[in-house]
Amino acid sequence: MKAHAALTICESIVLGFGDPRQDDISWWLQEAARHGSLKASAWLPRVCRSFQQAIVYEEPIEHSVALERCLDELPEHQYFSSRVRLYKLTRLALKTPDTENPESMRTLSWGDMFACSASKDLHEFLMAIYAGDQSLVDSLVCRFQIDDVSDAGFGPIHVACISGRLAILELLLRQGFSASQPASFGISPLHLCIFFPEMDTAKAANVLLESGADPDSYAECILWDDHDLELEYTPLDWAIETRNMELVKSLLPVTPPTAGLRALAASSLFYWEILEFILLGSEAERDGFRTRKYHGLHMLRRTFRHWLAHGTENFQSIDWTLDVFRRNHVPLIYDPREGSTTLMVLITSARTQEDLYLIKSLINILPTIDIKRTNDKGLCALSFSIIVAKDDACWIPIIESLAARYSLGELQSDILDYNSALHIAVMADSITGAQVLLKMGVDVNKQTFDRFKQTPLHLCMSRSGSADMCKLLLQHGADVRLKDQDNMFTPLIRLYTYHKLGSSRMVNEMIRADFPDDVYIESLHALTNRFWDKGVQRPDAIELFGYLLGVPRIGKYVDVVDSDGVTLLQRAAYILCLEAVEILLEVGANVLNGLNYSKGVLYPLQIACVMGRANYLESEVEANSNTNMLESREKDAESALNLCLKLLHLHHTKADNPFRGITDLHIACYIGLPSGIRRFHEGRHATEAKGCWVDQNKLWCPNDLPQEVFPNDLRAVELLGSRLAKRLLGSKESKSSTRNIWKRSSISPIWKTVRSGFTSSGFIGTSLNTFFSNST
């Protein structure tokens, strides 16, 4: 289990799930080998050599280290085919052709190929062939039929090829044994020529071909873990996969051409010497490869196999392959599906350091016109690299190379959907992309080219932004006072409009930025716009509102007026947001801060009472025509009543109380909520109790307020309405809100309903005693 876990982590790092550092890869590979992973043990010596690193634990992998030493002196391009010959006694994992369960696997070792349950003599004969005992083979050969095979279907010719014994192969062919008989999974003797020594490979292949071997025979997929190999199809395909140049030379002229597929296989493995031989040796392959309908360059299909096959030349092999492309006039760029170029496909699929190296090498040799190509969606290679980079520093050289092909003006122009390169980086939250672009001098305050005219900081404040991107933009001089052209929002207002408290890291980043006071004050007041929405937005907005006011840096603005001369408490009272009022009172908002106008002062309590009564009377018309709204209407009125009572009770704690003597029954009568009136009357609130309503020289009974006081307060709110609602008119939220009574004019039809309503309501204009007697 430990070995499997360590190898899984290693392979995950290689595939891009983490920082693909070579030290981490080799360390986890050594851990897997130390705990018994045969695959890791087979890979480790070669991978460490490719990375030019020492092996820490040699004891568990002594056999692999010894085999590796036998191959140390070979040139890199000859290493892999020699490794395959040297490791031929190790196991194969043969994939079954079960279509119902394609993931099923069964293991077949080379030793299993010799098993002969029906004949002990045949087993001994096959073992003699494998051992290379020619005299013994010569004495036994006459005892067996030419169609005698092992339990796995391997005959004497197969075993001779596996053993790499040319003389024995020739002997068996002279005796009439078949050169074309397939074994399990369609493996023919010609497939097994990969095991002959280099000096005998060509002759062995020629002997088999002369004896009737089929160069176009197909084998099923075989996974050979020791080399990270996936073998399938024809003998020539096996030769290419194992980098066996001698076998490729023998089989290419006699194998039917595939319109460039063989060249594609060699190029995708970066077997540059085989690729060039195929292009020069087969006109059909060369022409097919040049005019292919697919990419000739690919990211690494099997990363460990690339390291095993190329060793210390794992990067140079990429450059040499590109050189072969150029020398043979093979296009390096192609538009397959949806107009995406080779470069775009490589960028979006890159996972390893070698993939990134291929992209960088390709950029260096491509003309600028190919670099700037776009697909049918308008995306170019630069856009793709910015999007996939995120915060991975490995992409910096690539983005720098691509961006260098553009002028500063081009980078700041409309590259994609009304956005510049920096806008794309911000929307993708690509820290790496933004860093490169800002370093090159792009305008950090450049606005988008659509009607919204948003800066990168505005985009960062949306739902896709991050605190790190915010910090980066601010460090490069992003202007927090610039407003977009849609809602006239500053970036901070946009943040408070779209983010939840769950994004507190972003919020805290903006708090730590220490902007001028007016920036915080304006955005805090703008946050109250979200209180109009009684659905999903309000709870999130309330939570964020409370969090901000709890931060000393922001909480100190609780009683500061905005540019319209309005306080937060006055706005919350106007919107009738009970939760916001409770938060403000808890942090010390002053209920005596009123709005001054020509005829006096308008306190938050007066604003709340007017809005509570106005909304209750407004909803009466709708509720009468829709019974489903009755419950909602009563609930809203109760909430408004509770809000007003909280303000009233706090006023009663003040020495200079402008509402001296006003009771809960006064407020219930003002709003006009029958259930509230009944409740407080039954609670022994005196119906004739008198109190002051701002003017200390006048005393009012509860039923006087809706008749005498409300019209005056209503006119005051109307006069001050433009100040109270000015900012609300600029936002989509307020425009779409049914509670925005100012959206058409300062004196809307709603207020006409209210003015007529306060004289025609069921209890207004009569005594409270008459009201209670009628209701019973």
Q: What is the pLDDT of residues 190-219, one digit of tens each?
A: 999 999 999 999 999 999 999 999 999 999
Q: Which residues contact 591 (CB under 8 A, 6 or more apart)?
A: 569, 585, 603, 604, 605, 647, 650, 651, 654
Runs of H (alpha helix) within 56-184: 62-70, 76-86, 120-131, 134-140, 156-163, 166-174
In a domain, 554, yes or no: no
What is the identity of the amino acid at 681?
Answer: H
Using the 8-state DSSP alphabet, how is residue 176 labeled? Answer: T
Q: Which of 7-21, 356-370, 390-404, 526-540 has the lowest mean pLDDT?
A: 7-21
Bridge partner list, 664: none
**Of 489, 573, 477, 553, nearest in space to 523 by CA:** 489
Q: How far apart are CA 380 and CA 382, in angstroms?
A: 5
In the predicted structure, residue 729 carries a pLDDT above the cut 80:
no
In the predicted structure, residue 751 carries a pLDDT above the cut 60:
no
CB of 80 closer than 8 Å to CB of 194: no
Bridge partner list, 230: 223
How would residue 712 be classed by pLDDT, with cut points 50, 70 and 90? confident
Count of CB atoms situated within 10 Å of the CB of 358: 24
Domain that holds residue 235: 75-256
Number of domain units in the chain? 3
| Residue at a domain's end among 48, 70, 92 | 70
- Shared domain check, 164 and 20: no
Q: What pLDDT, on the 0 to 100 scale, is given for residue 421? A: 93
Q: Which of 175-184, 582-591, 642-651 has the lowest mean pLDDT?
A: 175-184
**What percent of the chain is modeled with pLDDT above 70?**
83
CB of 206 closer than 8 Å to CB of 20: no
Phi, psi (rounded to 5 degrees) for 14: -60, -40
Using the 8-state DSSP alphabet, how is residue 544 labeled? Answer: H
CB of 272 closer than 8 Å to CB of 317: yes
- Shared domain check, 638 and 676: yes
How would residue 734 be classed by pLDDT, with cut points 50, 70 and 90? very low
Pairing of strands 595-597, 600-602: antiparallel
In a domain, 293, yes or no: no
- Shared domain check, 91 and 54: no
Q: What pLDDT, on the 0 to 100 scale, is given for residue 581? A: 95
**Over the chain, what is the mean pLDDT?**
82
Render the burial of 630-641: b for 16+ CB within 10 Å, e for the rest: eeebbebbbbbb
- Shared domain check, 669 and 731: yes
Q: What pLDDT, on the 0 to 100 scale, is given for residue 432? A: 96
How would residue 336 be classed by pLDDT, with cut points 50, 70 and 90? low
- Shared domain check, 79 and 191: yes
CB of 756 closer than 8 Å to CB of 727: no
pLDDT tens track for 491-502 = 888 888 776 665
CATH of the domain at 142: 1.25.40.20
Q: Where are the beta strands (DSSP E) in 361-489?
A: none
Q: What pLDDT, on the 0 to 100 scale, is given for residue 503? A: 56
Q: What pLDDT, on the 0 to 100 scale, is given for residue 621? A: 57
| Residue at a domain's end among 256, 288, 309 | 256
Helix (H) or strand (E) segment spanning residue 770: helix 768-775
Over residues 7-20, mean pLDDT: 73
Q: Where are the beta strands (DSSP E) in 494-543?
A: none
pLDDT tens track for 286-333 = 888 887 755 667 778 888 899 999 999 999 999 999 999 999 988 887
Q: How far apart are CA 686 and CA 671, in angstroms?
A: 17
Q: What pLDDT, on the 0 to 100 scale, is given for residue 91? A: 67
What is the identity of the amino acid at 534?
Answer: K
Q: How far apart are CA 359 and CA 322, in angstroms?
A: 11
In a domain, 372, yes or no: no
Q: What pLDDT, on the 0 to 100 scale, is given for residue 628? A: 62
Q: What pLDDT, on the 0 to 100 scale, is given for residue 678? A: 85
- Shared domain check, 687 and 655: yes
How would residue 746 be classed by pLDDT, with cut points 50, 70 and 90? very low
- HSE-CB at 337 with a 13 A cutoff on CA atoms is 2
How would residue 721 be classed by pLDDT, with cut points 50, 70 and 90? low
